[in-house]
Amino acid sequence: MIAVFDGRALLAQTYWKESDPAETRNFLLLVGGLIFVSIVYSIIKRIASGKGITLGTGQQRGFSGSAFRRRAEDFGFSSGEAEFLEFYARKLAVTSPQAVFGSKAQLDAFMRNAFKYIERHADTEESAEEQKHQLFGLREALGARSSSGSAIRSTKQLRTKTPLSIVTAKEAHYSSILVVNESRAMYLEPALDAFGTPIRFGYGSRLTIYFYAGSHVGYSFQSKSRGMVDIDGKKFLSISHSDKIKPLPARRHQRSEVHISGRFYLVHVHAAKDKGKVVKTVQVERAAVAGIITDLSGGGLSMQTMSPANAGEFVKLEFELESGKISAYATVVRVSRTRTGALMHLKFVRAARKTINEIRAMVYGYE
């Protein structure tokens, strides 16, 4: 096209005389027409090839904000969440929605890159922690949706080695593991008392069993004790099957199995009236109790210890991650007895946003 244009332009010049205004006008009209035809030809060629028309220099080629937001909403994100993700897609020069929403692995990789971008480019530390908080909120919602899987309808579907929590009619909590699952009954590791002695539940005793399938989906069912049985010289607790399994509310926070040394301090909260107002004071005991954190999430943790606090009590937790020392306040949700002591399940009640973000970064491997 350019070669044709140059040839015709040279041809036109042979008829152009500076002294003749009409010739000058005709020459300019000819040149302008040729330029216009050339531009139209280029536009048609780009459209036919699927490249589209790009205006300006600030937008990456092939990226469509509206298409990106539609794919995000199809993936389950709200319009506000889609806009949040689009912002970082532009910052990371994403070329198409497929590069992010093609698979769960691609989306997780994109979120990991967004996390790193926030760390490097946020204006202030406060702004960085707020943006990380929003990003992890989306990541946890995604995890809750993706882990739902197929619902469990019967205890006969449970796999061996599934951890179980046993709750008696008197609200005593014990930990166990499913060892054998037969059509006639389930056989569990016996629950242990404080001295490590197997507890014998009376035949027909009512028990509530809790278990989780995956990181977030929990279930409960009612069962009855069938007494202790001997299998290959070992004693196991036999319980009846159930086809009436109830799903528990989905865990909001994804958990990660860990093995981290930590400690806790008992916390006492005192309330007193002062001029008609209730004033609370917090007293933290000086004596630390050692333990091992066995799982960790942005909402809480589980700690194995020989000297557990009681359910409902408040504690101050201290432990270390690669990012540094962690300190948070938590309440004891429940305590389960194990062969080596007890397992405390704790829920964070006060922790800095930076602390929770550091825990989430460890859980999702964004460190």
Q: Render 117-142 in DSSP notation, one character per residue.
A: HHHHH-SSHHHHHHHHHHHHHHHHHH
Q: Which residues of the chain have pLDDT under 70?
A: 1-28, 30-31, 37, 40-41, 43-62, 143-151, 194, 214-217, 249-252
Supply the pLDDT for residue 274: 77
Q: Which amino acid is at 126?
A: E
Supply the pLDDT for residue 302: 94
User: pLDDT by residue (tens digit) across 102-132?
Assistant: 988 899 999 999 999 999 999 999 999 999 9
Strands (DSSP E) found in the chain: 163-168, 173-181, 186-188, 206-213, 217-231, 234-239, 246-247, 256-274, 277-284, 289-296, 300-305, 314-321, 324-338, 341-350
Assign a CATH topology to domain 155-247.
Pnp Oxidase; Chain A (2.30.110)
CATH of the domain spanning 256-363, picked from 2.40.10.220, 3.30.470.20, 1.20.950.20, 2.30.30.100: 2.40.10.220
pTM of the model: 0.60
Supply the pLDDT for residue 174: 87
